[in-house]
C-alpha cells in the first residue's frame, strides 16, 4: 500500500497544471493530521441540540455557512453557493442567525454538527440541510471528515442519500478542484489529498434526510506526523 504522506510529498514537489484532489483512506489520513474539530467542547444535548451563531472559531479553523464574497441560493430546499470568494478568505454566516446545531448524534455516538438550512433550526426540515465553509489558519494539503447521511435502512425502503460536494479553494479564492461523494446510509468517512494546499473548503449537498458532520481533520503548521 502506498503511504498517504508519501503521496502528499510527491504532490507538493510536483508542478501541477491546475489542481488535483486524490481520495485516500480516512483512518490513515486522520492519524497524520493533528488539526481536529470534534464538537466535544459543547454541551451534550439530545437532538435538536443547540443552535450556534457563527462563524465558529476553533484552533486552526473557522466554520461558517459560506465564504465571504459568495452568494447563497436555495434550490429545491437545499443551499448552493456561487461566486468567487473575496480576499482575505473568511467564513461567514450571511444573513443566518446560526450556522450549525450541535447535538448528541446516535449514529456517531458523540456530539456532531448539523448545518442549518433554509427552513431554520426551529424546523426538522432545516437541520442538516445547509451548506458549510471551512477556512484554515494555514493552508492544508489534506482534509478528512466523517459524515452521516441518514440512519441505516435495513429494509431498503428509503432512497439512497443524495450527493455531497466538497469544493477546495487556494489562498486567492480560486477553485483547486471538487470532490463529490454519493454516501451510503450511516457514517461515511472522507479523506482527500489536495494540491496545491487548500486555504478553504465548502460543503454543499442534496440529501433529503439531512447530514451531520464530525471529526474534521486538517494539517497544522509544523505538526504533521
Quick one: three-class SS letters along the chain? CCCHHHHHHHHHHCCCCCCEEEECCHHHHHCCCCEEECCCCCCCCCCCCEEECCCEEECCEEEECEECCCEEEEECCEEEEECCCCCCCCEECCCCCCCEEEEEECCCCEEEEEEECCCCCCCHHHECCCCEEEEEEEEEEEEEEEEECCCCCCCCCCCCCCCEEEEEECCCCCEEEEEEECCCCCEEEEEEEEEEEEEEEEEEECCCCCCEEEEEEECCCCCCC
User: What confidence tens digit (pLDDT) does each residue in 121-177 have?
Assistant: 888 888 899 999 999 999 999 999 999 998 777 777 777 899 999 999 999 999 999
User: What confidence tens digit (pLDDT) does each residue in 50-107 have?
Assistant: 999 889 999 999 999 999 999 999 988 889 999 999 999 999 998 888 889 999 999 9
pLDDT band at 225 (very low <50, low <70, confident <90, very high): very low
Amino acid at each position: 500500500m502506498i503511504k498517504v504522506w508519501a503521496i502528499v510529498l510527491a504532490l507538493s514537489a510536483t508542478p501541477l497544471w491546475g489542481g488535483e484532489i486524490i481520495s485516500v483512506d480516512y483512518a490513515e489520513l486522520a492519524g497524520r493530521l493533528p488539526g481536529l474539530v470534534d464538537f466535544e467542547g459543547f454541551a451534550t444535548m439530545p437532538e435538536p441540540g443547540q443552535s450556534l451563531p457563527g462563524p465558529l472559531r476553533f484552533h486552526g479553523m473557522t466554520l461558517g455557512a459560506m465564504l465571504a464574497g459568495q452568494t447563497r441560493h436555495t434550490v429545491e430546499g437545499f443551499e448552493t453557493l456561487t461566486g468567487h470568494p473575496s480576499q482575505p478568505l473568511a467564513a461567514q454566516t450571511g444573513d443566518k442567525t446560526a450556522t450549525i446545531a450541535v447535538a448528541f448524534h446516535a449514529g456517531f455516538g458523540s456530539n456532531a454538527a448539523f448545518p442549518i438550512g433554509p427552513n431554520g433550526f426551529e424546523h426538522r426540515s432545516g437541520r442538516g440541510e445547509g451548506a458549510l465553509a471551512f477556512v484554515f489558519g494555514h493552508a492544508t494539503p489534506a482534509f478528512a471528515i466523517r459524515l452521516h447521511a441518514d440512519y441505516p435502512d435495513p429494509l431498503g425502503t428509503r432512497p439512497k442519500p443524495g450527493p455531497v460536494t466538497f469544493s477546495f479553494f487556494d489562498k486567492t479564492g480560486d477553485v483547486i478542484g471538487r470532490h463529490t461523494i454519493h454516501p451510503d446510509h450511516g457514517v461515511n468517512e472522507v479523506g482527500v489529498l489536495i494540491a496545491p494546499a487548500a486555504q478553504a473548503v465548502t460543503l454543499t449537498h442534496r440529501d433529503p434526510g439531512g447530514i451531520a458532520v464530525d471529526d474534521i481533520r486538517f494539517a497544522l503548521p509544523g505538526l504533521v506526523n
